[in-house]
Chains A and B, each alone.
Chain A
Amino acid sequence: MATHTPATSIAAHPALRQRGRALDVLYDWITTVDHKKIGLMYIGYALIFLVIAGIEALLMRVQLAVPNNTFVSPQTFNRLFTMHGTTMVFFVGMPILFGFGNYLIPLMIGARDMAFPRLNAFSFWISAFGGVLLYFSYFAGSGLYGAGTAPDVGWFAYAPLTARVFSPGHSTDYWTLSVLLSGVGSIGTALNIVATTLSMRCPGMKLSRMPLLVWLYFVTSCIAFIAISPLTAAQIMLMIDRYLGGHFFDTQAGGSAVLWMHFFWIFGHPEVYILVLPAFAFANEIIPVFSRKAIFGYPAMVAATVAIGFISMGVWAHHMFTVGLGPGANAFFTLATMVIAVPTGIKIFNWLATLWGGSIHFTTPMIFAIGFLFQFLIAGLTGVMLAASPFDWQLGNSYFVVAHFHYVLVGAILFMIFSAFYYWYPKMTGRMMSEKLGKWHFWLLVIGFHLTFDFMHIPGILGMPRRIYTYEADRGWAIWNMIVSSGAIFQTIATLIFVYNLVWSFFKGPKAGADPWDAWTLEWSTTSPPPSYNFARTPTVESRRPLWDLKHPEDPDTNYE
């Protein structure tokens, strides 16, 4: 049975508390191996990069708002989309999700820290260094003689554009090394999560009683293990090509451009699941709590997640339907990609069934989760369209694809990340976020998101390829691009409100208490914020919802599992 363990049972180190000087605080955070502090650093660092990459997106939308615009030069535009994509995937998406994972996993399984706290700190700092290195290219990308340049090869950096003949200077090297470092950090964290999940669970928490969030992070980490290795290998091969005269991807000397595509997408597609599974993980915790019902079909949800993990390894060439792999390969990858809709569909239906018969509370975390459900449904369906490979021969590399994956990354993942912020912020800081500002944030973001990304599908259908810095006025794309760009205004205001809410609530938000949402998992049994040791006494659990059992001794879950 889980226990409420107020932190007062063990005195917080009084000596440590008294030294409040800035340098001591800084020293404390830099040298910390506490999973909660590392988690928060991941999140803070990702938020900074989110703002930077968001500004890059805004600049691109200004440029594309009207045809034949000259707001930025073609060179600048190409750097903007390269940096935006690389930053969002490697230095926003992965760190923010690993940040929440780091913070929540030990708390949810009743552990005091991750399995390898020092590896945890190493993983964070090496990833953080990768991000700094990427942006240092703006100052140093052309070497020491002055004008720097960021990489301009696109976030998937197709060979042979990355060969030295097409990409002189060092900008591509900054890209390669920063992605390599981010990969090392991600593998470290993935290893840590797997080890923590397998060996640090509190007494009674069998794998079948683990919160779904932890299950999904476990599968995500297994995918990361397998998927990041080919990316790392490819980056090293690229460095060999560029500096040691290798010819892996050097087509001028018999190398293969298609080889890079395979390496990159064997990483690149599972990467989508590395990003989206944590978003599902948040939904699995948040939707039941605000429906006041247990998750529907826990075993099916676990099975569907594991199935997604396996199938995600066999779908990469759907990014390559236009490469000329032949009808056999195109048919195979069409089928493999469509099959993934089955476990994904199971998830959507199980969430729906969780809501069904519940008592739905429309708090800010919940409305973001509902936005996620609708938008992920649409993103999944446009994904099915793109999986039909002949349809992809038209839509591939067009703005339709850009709209589709932003529906996944923003409409599903980012909405769920915001939901997670509103849900766990009270645990992390001890204060609630403003519900009123949260609702403004949500509705403005919904308007901006749909203006931008609904209408972005249409220029793709009308033949507009991605990654063009400008376009002809006679193609019928102008009005759609204007609408798409105008949505960015709403999204910007929404994001500013969110950032303001984060800061305001930290100082002025209402006190949260240990369990503000009347929730059921172990993190809500300790104080907010939790003490560095998480639990004064290691909890014991007997079901998937230990706090439900505690609150409903007359009808515990143990009777039904």
Chain B
Amino acid sequence: MSLCMNQATAEKLMSGAIGAPARELAQWTHRSVYRAAGLLAFQFDHSSTNIFAPQGTPARSIFGLSMLVLAICAAIFLVVSGLLLYTLIRYRHRNGDSNREPAQIYGSNQVELSWTVIPVLIIVVLFLATARVIFITEQARKPASAVDVVVIGHQYWWEYRYPKLGIVTANELHVPVSDPGHPTPTYLTMSSADTDHSFWVPELAGKMDVIPNKVNTMWIDPEKPGLYLGQCAQYCGTQHAKMLIRVYADSPADFAAWVAAQQHPALQNASASEGSAVFQRNACISCHAISGTAAKGTFGPDLSHVASRATIASGSVPNTPENLRAFVDDPAHFKPGALMPAMHLSDHDLDAVTQYLMTLR
């Protein structure tokens, strides 16, 4: 069948009746070539963590440097590999060549000097360009309007504290969008409660390690509102893979609203008092804090506004009642190796505690 169609198309082409079908064919070929090439490029476009799609100043200055370095390296590669290929073809031993040894050349000071000096010059250029980006990024002056966040890495989750705003939250970092005319960058002061971690949101900035007994700083200034993804980039233990990062860049109004909501003490909804009681009488309170209650644990994420978050388990699972219930029942279900133990609650208590947590907006 398809053969017939092809024959028909071919006949039309041959008979000169090109017109519409040929144009269609040409367009189709064009499209499929584009599709094949585009399929791979598509992976770039649709990665939310592409280092070559910068959305903030630090990532953008790194991107500029990267393009320079890539261009120089690509040029060197083309020249040297081209020479190598040419040499291999030009000086290959052919059948029928005489078996006499070729002329022996032991070296040449002039030539060797040239391929020492040229790389030195390239390195000077690369180094100066690199040093510039190092200093403008690491020694950027902090404006008075900057937002301060303390980032604490824990085995497999992130703690975020806003000391000036009195907010403590986990795993989902909210920062204001930074308008170049009136910059409001966010400065992150980072340390770890246990092992080494690394904070990496590729579209906003390069990574910075989060190390116990050491305080590191970095800054981000997202240009557009939206969600920026990343994850822990230093092996920190069993669940290193699911220590994900979500940075929400909010418009000034949205950020102000978020701050106001987080500053409220946790809601105590009468309809969920049973779940609250289950929470308070179990070991939950040794690790988790809920503002305005006896729960003041600091080992696990602060749950005062847990229902306002889009995900649980450090960004790895959507925050739905079903998922939350399954997580409380046995965290290893989603994150084997997570430090929270299975709570062994009865179905009734699980339902109650889930209902309670979902009221903490």
- Which residues of A line the B interface, CB within 8 A? 73-75, 78, 152, 154, 158-161, 166, 251-252, 254-258, 291-294, 296-300, 322-324, 326-327, 330-331, 334-335, 338-339, 341-342, 345-346, 348-350, 352-353, 355-362, 370, 373-374, 377-378, 381-382, 384-385, 388-398, 458, 461-472, 474-477, 479-480, 552, 555, 557, 560-561
Contacts and interface: CB of A to CB of B under 8 A. Distances in A.
Given A293-B105, A324-B216, A160 B194 contact: yes
Contacts of B127: 331, 334-335, 338
B61 interface: yes
A356 B104 CA distance: 11
Contacts of B200: 463, 465
A394 B81 contact: no
A360 B112 contact: no
A458 B244 CA distance: 20
A465 B232 contact: yes
Contact of A560 (B61, B104, B139, B196): B104
A385 B62 CA distance: 12
Q: List 4 tightest A-B contacts by C-beta distance, closest first.
A: A393-B206, A463-B49, A476-B47, A468-B241
Interface of B: 39-40, 43-44, 46-52, 59, 61-62, 65-66, 69-70, 73, 76-77, 80-81, 83-84, 87-88, 91-93, 97, 101-108, 111-112, 115-116, 119-120, 123, 126-127, 129-131, 133-135, 137-139, 194-196, 198, 200, 202, 205-209, 211-214, 216-217, 229-242, 244, 316, 336-337
Contacts of B214: 256-258, 324
Contacts of B73: 381-382, 384-385
25 contacts: A74-B239, A255-B213, A257-B212, A257-B213, A292-B93, A292-B101, A292-B102, A293-B105, A296-B107, A322-B206, A327-B138, A334-B127, A358-B102, A359-B91, A373-B84, A388-B65, A388-B69, A461-B50, A462-B202, A463-B49, A468-B241, A476-B49, A479-B39, A479-B40, A552-B101
Given A327-B138, A397-B233, A471-B241, A346 B115 contact: yes
Given A324-B216, A381-B76, A397-B233, A330 B134 contact: yes
Given A251-B212, A393-B206, A465-B232, A73 B80 contact: no
B337 A251 contact: no
B101 A397 contact: no
A232 B78 CA distance: 42
Nearest to A351: B84
Contact of A161 (B69, B88, B195, B217): B195
A74 B104 CA distance: 58
Given A160-B196, A465-B233, 16 more contacts: A74-B337, A75-B238, A158-B196, A255-B213, A297-B106, A297-B107, A322-B234, A330-B138, A342-B119, A345-B119, A357-B102, A360-B92, A391-B69, A465-B231, A479-B40, A560-B106
A294 B116 CA distance: 21
B155 to A, nearest CB: 8
B contact patch SS: mixed
B138 A381 contact: no
A462 B47 contact: yes
Contacts of B123: 335, 338-339, 341-342
Contact of B208 (A299, A393, A479): A393
Contacts of A323: 209, 211, 216
A335 B124 CA distance: 9
A324 B208 contact: yes
A373 B83 CA distance: 12
Contacts of A479: 39-40, 43
Contacts of B130: 331, 334, 388-391
Most-contacted residue by chain A among B107, B231, B236 (CB, 10 A): B107
Contacts of A297: 106-108, 112
Given A74-B336, A338-B126, A358 B91 contact: yes
Contacts of A293: 101-105
A298 B108 CA distance: 10
A166 B139 contact: no
Given A377-B77, A463-B230, A476-B44, A394 B241 contact: no
B194 A394 contact: no
Contact of B195 (A166, A298, A465): A166
A380 B240 CA distance: 30
Contacts of B211: 251, 257-258, 323-324
B156 to A, nearest CB: 10
B143 to A, nearest CB: 19
Given A341-B123, A359-B97, A469-B241, A154 B235 contact: yes
A327 B134 contact: yes
A384 B69 CA distance: 8
